[in-house]
Structure 1
Amino acid sequence: MTDAPQYGFDTLQIHAGARPDPATGARQTPIYQTTAYVFRDAEHAAALFNLQEVGYIYSRLTNPTIAVLQERMATLEGGVGAVCCSSGHAAQLMALFPLMSPGKNIVASTRLYGGTMTQFSQTITRFGWSAKFVDFDDIEAVKAAIDDDTRAVFGETIANPGGYVTDIPALAKVTEAAGIPLIIDNTSATPYLCRPIELGATLVVHSMTKYLTGNGTVMGGAVVDSGKFDWSASDKFPSLSQPEPAYHGLKFHETFGPLAFTFHGIAIGLRDLGMTLNPQAAHYTLMGIETLSLRMERHCLNAQKAAEWLETNPHVETVTYAGLQSSPYHARAKALFPKGTGGLFTIALKGGYEACVKFVENLDLFSHVANLGDTRSLVIHPASTTHRQLTEEQQIAAGAGPNVVRISIGIEDINDLIGDLDQALAKATA
C-alpha cells in the first residue's frame, strides 16, 4: 500500500477540497444557493443536530460550496480545519469568541490594521473583553503584558500598513510557555509566502477579501485551526474543555480532539453570531485562490522593483518594504518568507500630510480605495482614512503617520506603475 501523494502548493490551490459534483459531474464547484437541506429521516436530523453526524442542516452553519473553501483554506495553511465567515473582522471575532469571557484580555501588536485597532480597543470592550497593545519587536514587553487573565496573543504576519515583519517563532515560544494560543493574521502574506502554523501559531485568521480572492469582488474571512493546542491543559478555556449546555453537556475538546475549535466555530460561533459567508462569495474566492501563487509571484516582483525605485526618489523620505536591504526586517523576512515579501508597504513623503493628499489625487493607474491585495495597484492615505479614528501617536505607532501613504502593488506592467508614481510625486511636490 502506497502513501497518498504529497501535492505541491500550486496543485493544492486548485484541487484541495474540490471534487466533481456527484449529481452532474460539474468540474467547477457549484454554487449551492440554498438555505436548507432535506433530511433522510427523523433519526438523521436528530444526529445532525446532536453533532453525532457531520452534514448539512442550514446554510447559516454549513453549505457545500463553503465546505470546499474551508477544506482548501485548512489545507493551504497546514491546519486541521477552518471556519469561513462574512469578513476578516468577523474572522477576528470568531477566533476570540471561544477563548474569551468578561474580564479577560488579549495582548495585541501596536502595528495592526486601523480597523482591527478600533475593534480591539473599542468594540470588544462591550463584551467585557480588553486588549493590551505592545510593540511586538520587544519580546520581553510581550511577556510582561501577559497576565492570569490573558487568553491570546494577536499579531499580523506582515503588518498592515507598515510592512513590519512579526517574529512568529519568538512569539510562539512566549505563548507556549504561558499556555495560551497565538493568533496570527496572515492576510498580507497569504499561505503562499508564509504558513504561520509551521512557525508555531495556534490559529490563523484571514481577510479573504484581499489577496486570496484577488479581484476586489467579494468579502470573506477565515479562521484556520492548527489542531495542536491542548484546550484541556488548564481551566482557561471552558468553552472548549467544559460541558456545553446547548449540546447536553458535550465537551468539544474531549469529543472532537484536534478539531474542537473548528467544530465550536461552526456549532456555536456561526449558529449564534450568524456571521455567515454566502455561497456565491465562497465561489468567487475559490476561483481567486486557483491563481494565488501566480499572482503573489508578480506582486512580490513588482513590489520589490517599485520599492527600490521609490527609495531613490528625492521626494520620498522612507520606504518600509522588508524586501529592501535597508529594512530592519530584511533578514527576518528572508528567513520567514523565502518566496518574497508581499506586495504591501508604505512610503513617507518629505512634504508631509498635504503632499500625501496631492500624491494620492494625482495617480492615474493606482486606484484610491480602502482595500489591498487586488490585481490592480491600490493606494490610500491611512491618516485621513483607515487610521483616522486613531490619535496621531497611535497612527505613528502603527506605521500610519500623517506623512505616510500605503501602497498595494498590483500585477500590472511595472514600468507603467513606476511611471505613474513618478508623475504623481512630481505634481505632489511641485
Structure 2
Amino acid sequence: MTLGFDTLQVHAGSRPDPATGARQTPIYQTTAYVFRDADHAAALFNLQEVGYIYSRLTNPTVAALAERVATLEGGQGAVCCSSGHAAQIMALFPLMGPGRNVVASTRLYGGTVTQFSQTIRRFGWSAKFVDFDDVEAVKAAIDDDTRAVFCESIANPGGYITDLDAISEVAKAAGVPLIVDNTSATPYLCRPIEHGATLVVHSATKYLTGNGTVTGGVVVDSGTFDWSASDKFPSLSAPEPAYHGLKFHETFGPLAFTFHSIAIGLRDLGMTLNPQAAHYTLLGIETLSLRMERHCANALKIAEWLEGHEAVAEVTYAGLPSSPYADRVPRICPKGAGGLFTFRLKAGYEACVKLVNALELFSHVANLGDTRSLIIHSASTTHRQLTEAQQIAAGAGPDVVRLSIGIEDPADLIADLEQALAKATA
C-alpha cells in the first residue's frame, strides 16, 4: 500500500513499543545495550548483524527519526547527528580527502559559507563557490579533485530556488554526488532525490522540529549513486582496514553510505544526536505538512504587502510573480515557495537595525523555521564573518533583513511590520 505524506509524517519509523505497547516512540535514555551472548556482540561489531551497541552509534529513538526522514525524502537510509552543521560534515566525510574540493553555491547560509571556506581547510579540503544560476560556470568549476556538488533547495536567506534538475545533470555527467540542503523547503515542499540529488541534508533544528527547542541534523542517502564506478570514493568502494577489508558498497549496496556514516562517521567523529532531541523532532514532524501550508500562505501575503510598501526596495520571495525564480516553484517546490525570504530597505543598514529593534511580535533570533515569526539582519549577525561582497553574493547585503514567517495571524504580522517600518524610516 502506498501511503500519502500526511500519513507517513505520523507513522513512518514509529511502531508500538514491543516491551510496553507504548504508541508514541519512547525516549530510550540509555548509553549501552545488553548483548544476547558473545557471538551476538561479535556479529554486531563485525557489521554482520544490525542492532544496538552504544548510543554514540545507534539508539532506537534516533533510529525512528532517521527512518521517518528517509521515508519522507524518498531515500534508502539516513543518519541523524547533533546539528545541521554536523550533518554537512557527515555528508562530506566519506567523500573527501586532502586536496579534494566541493563545488558549492554562493547562495548558502552564512555559517555554511564560513564552514566551507575556512573550517574544512583544516582537513585539507577546499570549496569553490559558484553562482548556481550559471550552469556552465558550475560545469567549469568541477575538476579531477571535485568530490561533491553542494547547494540548498530553497536558499537561506533569500528564498532563492535552485534548479536542481539542471545541477543534478551536471553532477551526474561529472560522476560526483549532488548534496542538497533541504532545510528551508523540507520534504513537504521539495524532494531533491526526485530531482537527481544523491544526498539530502537537514538542520532538523528548523522546520522539521518546528518549535525552536532542540538542535539536530540528518543526512539522507538516496541509495542511487554507484560508489564503485570510479576510484574517487575509496572510503565506500575500497577495503576498510578497520573492518578487516570489508568494502562498504560491495557489502551494503544502496545502504553503503548510511552504514559507513554510522560505523565510521559517528564512531570516530561522535556527532551524535541525543534521544530526547530526536523525540522532540519526531513530534514536530507529525504536523509538518500543516505547518508548511500555513508558513507558505502567510509568507505570500506578507511578501505581497511588503512589495507594495514605499520603504521597500526589493522582496526576494520566489512565490511572487515578479520573482526571477517564480517559474521554478511549480517544478521544484510545487506545494509552495516556503516561509523564508528577505527584503531590502531603501534607507540602508541603519534603517534595518532600527526596524529589528522596533518590532514587537517578530522575534529577533538567529534561527528560522519556528512556528513564531522571526527576523534577523544577516549582515550584522549570521553573515557578519563574510566580506561585503560575499554577503551580497549570498543575498545578505547590508540593506537586507531576513524574515522567517511563522503560523500566526498574518494581519497581526503585517501590523507589526507596518509600525516598525514607520519608526525605522521616520
Q: Give the TM-score band, short-chain normalised.
A: over 0.9
Q: Which residue of 2 aligns with 1:94?
A: 90
**Residues 168-317 of structure 1: matches in 2 within 5 Å?**
168-317=164-313
Q: Give a deviation string over 1:230-258, Cα, whole Å, max 9, x none.
A: 00000000000000000000000000000
How far has the Cα of 1:163 moved from its partner?
A: 1.0
Q: Give a deviation string over 1:41-90, Cα, whole Å, max 9, x none.
A: 00000000000000000000000000000000100000000000000000
The 1-side partners of 2:403 and 2:366 are apart by 11
Q: Which residue of 1 aligns with 2:349?
A: 353
Q: Which amino acid aligns with 1:404?
A: V
The 2-side partners of 1:367 and 1:212 are apart by 19
Matched, 1:338 2:357: no
Please point out which of 137, 140, 163 is paired with 1:167: 163
The 2-side partners of 1:102 and 1:154 are apart by 18
User: Percent identity at matched positions?
Assistant: 83
The 1-side partners of 2:187 and 2:31 are apart by 31
Q: Which amino acid aligns with 1:104?
A: R
Q: Which amino acid aligns with 2:271?
A: M
How far has the Cα of 1:335 moved from its partner?
A: 1.8
How far has the Cα of 1:333 moved from its partner?
A: 1.5
| SS across alignment from 2:104 | strand
Q: Which amino acid aligns with 2:420?
A: A
Please point out which of 318, 322, 346 is paired with 2:318: 322
The 2-side partners of 1:345 and 1:331 are apart by 17
**Residues 20-99 of structure 1: matches in 2 within 5 Å?**
20-99=16-95
How far has the Cα of 1:338 moved from its partner?
A: 1.3
Tell me the TM-score normalized by structure 1. 0.99
Tell me the TM-score normalized by structure 2. 1.00
The 1-side partners of 2:13 and 2:206 are apart by 21
Q: Which residue of 2 aligns with 1:140?
A: 136
The 2-side partners of 1:51 and 1:309 are apart by 56
The 1-side partners of 2:75 and 2:331 are apart by 21
The 1-side partners of 2:379 and 2:300 are apart by 24
Matched, 1:115 2:130: no
The 1-side partners of 2:28 and 2:237 are apart by 34
Gaps of 5+ in 2: none
The 2-side partners of 1:102 and 1:412 are apart by 48
The 1-side partners of 2:402 and 2:330 are apart by 22
Q: Give a deviation string over 1:313-341, Cα, whole Å, max 9, x none.
A: 00000000000000000001122111100
Q: Which amino acid aligns with 1:46?
A: A
The 1-side partners of 2:330 and 2:212 are apart by 29
How far has the Cα of 1:397 moved from its partner?
A: 0.3
Q: Which residue of 2 aligns with 1:150?
A: 146
In the TM superposition, structure 1's runs of 4+ consecutive aligned residues that sit over 4 Å from their partners are none
Q: Give a deviation string over 1:191-239, Cα, whole Å, max 9, x none.
A: 0000000000000000000000000000000000000000000000000
**Residues 353-392 of structure 1: matches in 2 within 5 Å?**
353-392=349-388
Gaps of 5+ in 1: none
Q: Which amino acid aligns with 1:68?
A: A
The 1-side partners of 2:191 and 2:3 are apart by 16
The 1-side partners of 2:208 and 2:69 are apart by 10
Q: Which residue of 2 aligns with 1:424?
A: 420
How far has the Cα of 1:95 moved from its partner?
A: 0.1
The 2-side partners of 1:19 and 1:241 are apart by 34
The 2-side partners of 1:252 and 1:334 are apart by 38
The 2-side partners of 1:205 and 1:345 are apart by 20
The 2-side partners of 1:342 and 1:374 are apart by 12
